[in-house]
Copies of this chain bind each other. A is one copy, B any other.
Amino acid sequence: MIVVMKKSATEKQAEEVIKQLGEYGFSAHVSAGAEQTVIGAIGVRPDFDIRKIKIMDGVGDVFKVTEPFKLASRSFRKENTLIKVKDVTFGGNEVIAISGPCAIENEEQVFAIAEIVSSAGVRVLRGGAFKPRSSPYAFQGLGEEGLKLIRAAADRYDLVVVTEVLESAQVDLVNTYTDIFQVGARNMQNFPLLKELGKFKKPVLLKRGFSATIEELLMSAEYILASGNPDVILCERGIRTFETYTRNTFDLSAIPVVQGRSHLPIIADPSHAVGLRQLVPAMARAAAASGADGIMLEVHHEPKKALSDGPQALLPGQFRELMEQLRSIVSVLGRRLA
């Protein structure tokens, strides 16, 4: 931690700061410049609230020197974490496609979509059985019945399942059916859920909250890692901004930023970011070109009848065409779509 005293600060104020730092367990290292005194506080306390010093008299500014996350950082682990689920590996040379409906609606639907997805070469099936909806009057998902259906469809087509879990009390149930747990954007800071998932040996797909900074996303990953589960796949899915034409603003720069700061794989979900089918292909291609480790795409055989997010689901033909484009784009980067 670096403490910059105000130009107008008195010597006594600087001494107070140094004394206080000592009480908090830091040793102080003072350098008096021509204009200002700067105090380096040495000691490792990643959770220290720097505002405790910021409010002291004479203090101009305080900066944190250590990153607030550790296990998730590139400094802690230099090589990419590879996360293997059956024959799929996240974080390596392959770019992983994940597809399926927003919500599991009935047997016919999930099998029809699993067939479309599988025949396009996708190996991971998504679909929600527990849906977090803004309105209490909207379809809330099939619950366990939905979990059974997605498991059965995935088994038929030899696919990996990823499905959402909404709270810690649901983890055991979802664990029975899924291969990868998904934590949705609204739950990125549901800390009891993150701690619970840390106890399992099963990968967690952690979506960025729509108003979370990249650092907060990595802090939430740290919760899972610190609880014992090393397999976290991050996901950029759009952030909330003043622009209202799209559902959210797809922050693709998160892809190279996270790859620089962390060893964990990061994928992108253009469907939720933009929210309108006609914008999804352009953004999916952009995600592939940005270097994402995977692309999540919603697809529906009859989107008009979809019970959730139909308007952002790709039509089967559109989906197949897009998959071909993505294949070509990732090959420009020397990678393979899988």
Contacts and interface: CB of A to CB of B under 8 A. Distances in A.
Interface of A: 2, 4, 6-8, 20, 23, 29, 31, 33-36, 38, 40, 42, 44, 46-47, 49, 51-52, 54-55, 60-61, 63, 65-69, 74-75, 78, 132-140, 166-170, 186-187, 189-193, 195, 209-211, 213-216, 219-220, 222-223, 226-227, 239-246, 249-257, 260, 273-279, 282-283, 285-291, 304, 308-312, 325, 328-329, 332-333
A262 to B, nearest CB: 12
Contact of A65 (B4, B75, B275): B4
B47 A135 contact: yes
Contacts of A66: 35-36
A332 B289 CA distance: 11
Contacts of A23: 304
A312 to B, nearest CB: 7
Contacts of A239: 241-243, 249
Contact of A189 (B20, B132, B139): B132
B325 A222 contact: no
Contacts of A195: 136
B274 A227 contact: no
Sort A-B residue pairs by CB-CB distance and give the 5 closest, nearest first.
Answer: A211-B211, A51-B311, A289-B289, A285-B289, A286-B286
10 contacts: A31-B40, A51-B275, A61-B63, A132-B189, A134-B189, A134-B216, A186-B189, A190-B190, A256-B282, A329-B329
Nearest to A215: B245
Nearest to A132: B191
A48 B229 CA distance: 39
Nearest to A310: B52
B245 A274 contact: no
A245 B287 contact: no
Contact of A329 (B75, B140, B289): B289
B191 A190 contact: no
A64 B18 CA distance: 21
